[in-house]
A and B are shown apart, each in its own frame.
Chain A
Amino acid sequence: MTLTVFTALLSHWRRNWLQFFALIAGLALATALWSGVQAINAEARASYDAAAATLGEGQFDQLVPRAGGTVPQDTYVALRRAGWQVSPILEGRLDADRGRVRVLGIDPLTAPGTMAPVAMNADADLGAFLEGELVFANAETADRLEGQIPQRILIDEGIAPGIAVTDIGAAQRLLEADGQLSRLTLARVQPMGLPPLSAVAPDLTRQPAQDAGANRLTDSFHLNLTAFGLLSFAVGIFIVHGTISLAFEQRRGMVRTLRALGVPLRTLVVLTIAELVVFAVLAGAVGVALGYVMASVLLPNVAATVQGLYGAQVAGTLQLRPEWWVSGMAIALGGTAIAAAGALWKIAHMSILESARPRAWSVASGSGATRLGAVALGLFGLGAGIAIWGQGLLLSFALLACVLIGAALILPLMLRSAVGLAERLSTTVIWQWFWADTRQQVPGLSLALMALLLATAANVGVSTMVSSFRVTFVDFLDQRLAPELFVQIEDEARSAEVETVLRNEAREVLPLLSVETEIAGVPSDLFGVRVGPTYRENWLFLDRSGDVWSQVADEDAVVVSEQLARRAGLWVGDPVRVAPDVTLPIAGIVADYGNPLGQAVMSETLFRSIYPDQIATQFGVRTEDPEALTRILLDDLGLPPAAVIDQARIKAFSLSVFERTFTITGALNVLTLGVAAFAILMSLLTLASLRVPQLAPVWALGMTRRDLGRLELLRSVILALLTTLLAIPLGLLLAWVLLAYVNVEAFGWQLPMYLFPGHYAVLSLFAIVAAAVAALWPAFRLSRTPPSSLLKVFANDR
């Protein structure tokens, strides 16, 4: 019996292949967007980790020689033997004929991070790299090296300018530094019960991760991208929900007949669930594969997004990770469950005697516009409650959900009201009919329009987020990386010597004094800075009072970071105790994305009077010729290469690559809108058969089919336009929640929000064009309906 019943249930789809297609495609697209975004996220993150490790910047602690010089390879071996997860790095300059190149030797097998740190293109395998036969560099650097080294040079534009990456052994040979290393990177997670570093490697000192803040910014970006993935998925789920409801509505008669014939309700429900599981697995598999293709197409740009931070690389070949399969299938099944829950409940509770006449989808869901509106208001209330009283990341996401679902649910009511108003305002008979007819179409199209609403809102929200992110990032880099060079010395005894040299050679020297302390109960770094043009010109304040730097220079005020201010509940003007006997008002609040600790900045003179024993080991340096100064520092002073960081280069590189972020955002925008357009197309096609009886009388009374087709197209455009008008404020609200709530909860700082009306106009245009394109084919088909099909409506021969 089971098989017979199952075959009967499935026969519905055979007769309604369009519905079947819509169901599978909707679910697959939703899963694709989700897993694509996940894939992009995961790969970009892995590559960022890896590249950060390679270049010795970023989030990994380092072991460097206490007294300068190099690390003997034996020390590295001893540490590995003792169980320490360290990876060797050798850096050095190679004077090629056409310019200087920084050679970076790494060991891909021990480097922290999830992937090999260097892009392994199809033509370059790990083996060759380990054999020391390969060197990676960008085109310009490769040019400089051409013919100078025995290794094969592979071009990789992701590598920072002037750097050549190769295996550690090859680097030792190239730099004639046999048995020597520059430093060791420490993996973030180390085994337990290790012997202390001081015992195994007493000559090395641990240098905490240097992070220009890019790291946390990147994390935030990932989180927001994940939110975007979820949203895209929601758009897909709307389609699936629509098709499942419609199909189940149309199968009521069959279900009733089957039950009347003695099939137990339980069997029916179980079989229906089995059917849905089969579909979900099928669509999920298609979706994951599609997402993979999507990610691999988009990935070069995503990689570029985070790559800029220190030259992270995403491997040229994207691996289809098992996690993606699991999460993709889970989300496909979960989405189907959400989308089908209502329909299943209806079947389970349908009376056997209930009319089996399939109610039109529009009628079925139409009565509910007001009810949906009421639910929406409830959700908005809940959201407002969360916004006022709620706290925590989870609740922030709940707030997001309330806002979005609420907006989607209130859409039919708003459209109905808008169209009703237009109907009342119109004077000619055609327009009155047009609006009345549009009002009648709203329920049938509402699911697709909700999808469009969410897609457009997500696009507006995400483009606001990404653009705000970019503006912030650029400002932040300008501020923190303003000094062209950053010098960090390990040996305090050399501080004065280094500063003297710097002062002679550089335009401005900015010693950075710091102590770790606790300010207003928050673990913080207290900095003493030399106030000068660099600070005055480059630092931007989230909030300020008067001339901040003059107040700081006069020892009358301090600057604190946003994290510190938020956590301590302080703001501009509030007095804060920065040291046991020093309480000063806050003159300005700065954004600080790089640091989980709080930060307070005072003048150098005040700092020295409080902490007379502190010696500057870090210097920001302003200079016109960073290369020359670097040479002096390395050659004349004998500082290790890692001590001098060329910030200008990092900044320029980061900025140029970050610009490419927009490509991916744009691509994702187009994709989500594509999914929404697909939803509209499917709705219009399924509604098409219901349209004929509605339009036949109008045609008979003297409208041409072509006019009807045009009006049909116009209707879709108008509905899309109205939806978009609602989507823009919704998207801005979404961005605001992401930036002001989710980000603060997740990272402790608020990303300032900027508005980009130009983007919104383009996105709206895209949304409307998407709707128009989706409506084109159904409208064309309508304008070609043969008169006999229209006349059939009026005939009564059965």
Chain B
Amino acid sequence: MVLSVENVTKSFAGADGATPVLRGVDLQMQAGETLALTGESGSGKSTLLHLVGGLDVVDSGVIRVNGQDITEMDDTARAALRRSEVGVVFQQFNLIPSLTVAANIAFQARLSGRHDPTQVAALAKALGLTPHLEKYPEAISGGQQQRVAIARTLAARPRLVLADEPTGNLDEATAAEVLDQMLALVTETGAALMVVTHSQAVADRMSRHVHLSQGRLA
């Protein structure tokens, strides 16, 4: 089991007290599985993804990644988890502005000690990034930036890939292309993939589909 989420709750402090966002979420994912997570805007999809990725902490409940309980982890351990166990692709601003595209792609792989230059080159080629390797993020388009983020995640070969509306900012054609490549590469590495999306087209490409509503999964 790559991911197991048990009865997770999370609320945020607002102007009028704490607003519950997740009210007891349960979810399991196996290796190789692909999952679409949908829900209204503001339903807590990103929040769940952040919790699973070790970017934020739960109020209650348990999350296990590769069998490790991450809700018990301290800052340092969660940082280590982010380095080597999960890969996250956000909606935007994924890249480190001071590093070149090549350095960005290799970054997480090098952090986790799984750097393989030939694989990086292959990924860059597959995602059409070869001509841009020496450029800085600011010099390439949004679609290309997303592809760099995907390449970076896959180069690190994490067991769990989390993507938060990775194609949300892209036009339809580019979006389809990026998604194709992501799925192909996930299949190749055998990772589990969770994609947050509000697009039915994207959801249809996944092996499983869950919907977040009222703080619970359906």
Question: Which residues of A pack against B, CB within 8 Å?
Answer: 428-430, 432-433, 436-437, 439-440, 693-694, 696-707, 787-788, 790-791, 793-797
CB-CB under 8 A for A796 and B91, given A433-B96, A791-B50: yes
Instruction: Give B67-94 as 1s and 0s: 1 = Cβ < 8 Å from A's Cβ atoms.
Output: 0000000011001111110001011111
A795 to B93, CA, bound (A): 9
The answer to whether A794 and B84 have CB atoms under 8 Å apart is no
The answer to whether A794 and B92 have CB atoms under 8 Å apart is yes
- Report the nearest A residue to B106, measured CB to CB: A429
Give the number of residue pairs across the A-B interface with Cβ within 8 Å.
Answer: 88
Q: Which of A436, A699, A790, A797 has the most CB of B within 10 A?
A: A436
List chain B residues, Cβ under 8 A from A797: 41-42
The answer to whether B84 and A436 have CB atoms under 8 Å apart is no
The answer to whether A793 and B93 have CB atoms under 8 Å apart is yes
- Report the nearest B residue to A787, measured CB to CB: B56
The answer to whether B107 and A704 have CB atoms under 8 Å apart is no
The residue that A794 contacts in the complex, of B90, B106, B111, with Cβ under 8 A, is B90
Name the distance in Å between B26's Cβ and chain A's nearest Cβ.
23
The answer to whether A791 and B97 have CB atoms under 8 Å apart is no
Does B98 lie at the interface of the complex (its beta carbon under 8 Å from any beta carbon of A)? yes
Pairs of residues from A and B, 8 with the lowest C-beta to C-beta distance, nearest first: A702-B83, A794-B90, A429-B110, A702-B82, A436-B98, A440-B98, A796-B91, A704-B79
- Report the nearest A residue to B112, measured CB to CB: A702
Name the distance in Å between B164's Cβ and chain A's nearest Cβ.
7
Does B24 lie at the interface of the complex (its beta carbon under 8 Å from any beta carbon of A)? no
List chain B residues, Cβ under 8 A from A432: 99, 103
Does B168 lie at the interface of the complex (its beta carbon under 8 Å from any beta carbon of A)? yes
CB-CB under 8 A for A694 and B98, given A788-B56, A794-B92: yes
Does B169 lie at the interface of the complex (its beta carbon under 8 Å from any beta carbon of A)? yes
List chain B residues, Cβ under 8 A from A794: 90-94, 164
Name the distance in Å between B80's Cβ and chain A's nearest Cβ.
7
Name the distance in Å between A779's Cβ and chain B's nearest Cβ.
16
Name the distance in Å between A514's Cβ and chain B's nearest Cβ.
73
The residue that B107 contacts in the complex, of A429, A440, A705, with Cβ under 8 A, is A429
The answer to whether B90 and A700 have CB atoms under 8 Å apart is yes
List chain A residues, Cβ under 8 A from B55: 700, 787, 790-791
A696 to B41, CA, bound (A): 23
- Report the nearest B residue to A434, measured CB to CB: B98
The answer to whether A702 and B97 have CB atoms under 8 Å apart is no
The answer to whether B108 and A795 have CB atoms under 8 Å apart is no
Name the distance in Å between A444's Cβ and chain B's nearest Cβ.
12
CB-CB under 8 A for A701 and B46, given A433-B98, A796-B169: no
A700 to B156, CA, bound (A): 14
Does B65 lie at the interface of the complex (its beta carbon under 8 Å from any beta carbon of A)? no
- Report the nearest B residue to A790, measured CB to CB: B55
A693 to B98, CA, bound (A): 11
CB-CB under 8 A for A694 and B96, given A701-B107, A701-B108, A704-B75: yes
Does B120 lie at the interface of the complex (its beta carbon under 8 Å from any beta carbon of A)? no
A793 to B92, CA, bound (A): 8
A436 to B53, CA, bound (A): 26
The answer to whether B110 and A700 have CB atoms under 8 Å apart is no
Name the distance in Å between A48's Cβ and chain B's nearest Cβ.
56
List chain B residues, Cβ under 8 A from A787: 50, 55-56
* 29 A-B pairs in the complex with CB atoms less than 8 angstroms apart: A428-B110, A429-B107, A429-B110, A429-B111, A433-B96, A433-B98, A433-B99, A693-B93, A693-B97, A694-B97, A694-B98, A697-B93, A697-B95, A702-B79, A702-B81, A702-B82, A702-B108, A704-B76, A705-B75, A790-B55, A791-B46, A791-B50, A791-B56, A795-B46, A795-B91, A796-B91, A796-B169, A797-B41, A797-B42
A428 to B107, CA, bound (A): 10
CB-CB under 8 A for A796 and B165, given A700-B90, A704-B76, A705-B75: yes
| Given contact pairs A436-B99, A700-B53, a sample of 10 additional A-B residue pairs in the complex whose CB atoms are under 8 Å apart | A429-B111, A440-B98, A697-B96, A702-B79, A702-B111, A702-B112, A787-B55, A788-B12, A795-B90, A796-B169
The residue that A440 contacts in the complex, of B56, B93, B97, with Cβ under 8 A, is B97
A702 to B56, CA, bound (A): 13
Name the distance in Å between A418's Cβ and chain B's nearest Cβ.
16
List chain B residues, Cβ under 8 A from A430: 111
Instruction: Give B135-161 as 1s and 0s: 1 = Cβ < 8 Å from A's Cβ atoms.
Output: 000000000000000000000000000
A263 to B127, CA, bound (A): 51
Question: Which residues of B pack against A, CB within 8 Å?
Answer: 12, 41-42, 46, 50, 53, 55-56, 75-76, 79-84, 88, 90-99, 103, 106-108, 110-112, 164-165, 168-169
List chain B residues, Cβ under 8 A from A707: 79
- Report the nearest B residue to A430, measured CB to CB: B111
List chain B residues, Cβ under 8 A from A704: 75-76, 79
The residue that A706 contacts in the complex, of B75, B103, B169, with Cβ under 8 A, is B75
A440 to B95, CA, bound (A): 14
The residue that A697 contacts in the complex, of B94, B112, B165, with Cβ under 8 A, is B94
Name the distance in Å between A97's Cβ and chain B's nearest Cβ.
79
The answer to whether A701 and B111 have CB atoms under 8 Å apart is yes
The residue that B98 contacts in the complex, of A428, A439, A699, A701, with Cβ under 8 A, is A439
List chain A residues, Cβ under 8 A from B91: 794-796
Name the distance in Å between A693's Cβ and chain B's nearest Cβ.
6
Name the distance in Å between B136's Cβ and chain A's nearest Cβ.
10
List chain A residues, Cβ under 8 A from B168: 796
Name the distance in Å between B24's Cβ and chain A's nearest Cβ.
21
- Report the nearest B residue to A695, measured CB to CB: B96
A702 to B164, CA, bound (A): 18
List chain B residues, Cβ under 8 A from A437: 96, 98
The answer to whether A702 and B93 have CB atoms under 8 Å apart is no
Name the distance in Å between B197's Cβ and chain A's nearest Cβ.
13
A700 to B153, CA, bound (A): 11
List chain A residues, Cβ under 8 A from B90: 700, 794-795
Name the distance in Å between B165's Cβ and chain A's nearest Cβ.
7
List chain B residues, Cβ under 8 A from A693: 93, 97
A436 to B82, CA, bound (A): 22
- Report the nearest B residue to A429, measured CB to CB: B110
A430 to B99, CA, bound (A): 11
A793 to B88, CA, bound (A): 14
- Report the nearest B residue to A363, measured CB to CB: B138
Name the distance in Å between A777's Cβ and chain B's nearest Cβ.
20
List chain B residues, Cβ under 8 A from A790: 55
List chain A residues, Cβ under 8 A from B41: 797
CB-CB under 8 A for A703 and B98, given A794-B91, A797-B41: no
List chain A residues, Cβ under 8 A from B42: 797
Name the distance in Å between B180's Cβ and chain A's nearest Cβ.
22
A794 to B166, CA, bound (A): 11
List chain A residues, Cβ under 8 A from B84: 702
A701 to B81, CA, bound (A): 9
List chain B residues, Cβ under 8 A from A791: 46, 50, 55-56
Name the distance in Å between B51's Cβ and chain A's nearest Cβ.
10
List chain A residues, Cβ under 8 A from B46: 791, 795
Q: Which of A440, A699, A704 has the most CB of B within 10 A?
A: A704
The residue that A433 contacts in the complex, of B79, B83, B107, with Cβ under 8 A, is B107
A795 to B164, CA, bound (A): 9
CB-CB under 8 A for A700 and B88, given A787-B55, A794-B164: yes
The answer to whether A701 and B82 have CB atoms under 8 Å apart is yes
- Report the nearest A residue to B99, measured CB to CB: A436
- Report the nearest B residue to A796, measured CB to CB: B91
The answer to whether B98 and A796 have CB atoms under 8 Å apart is no
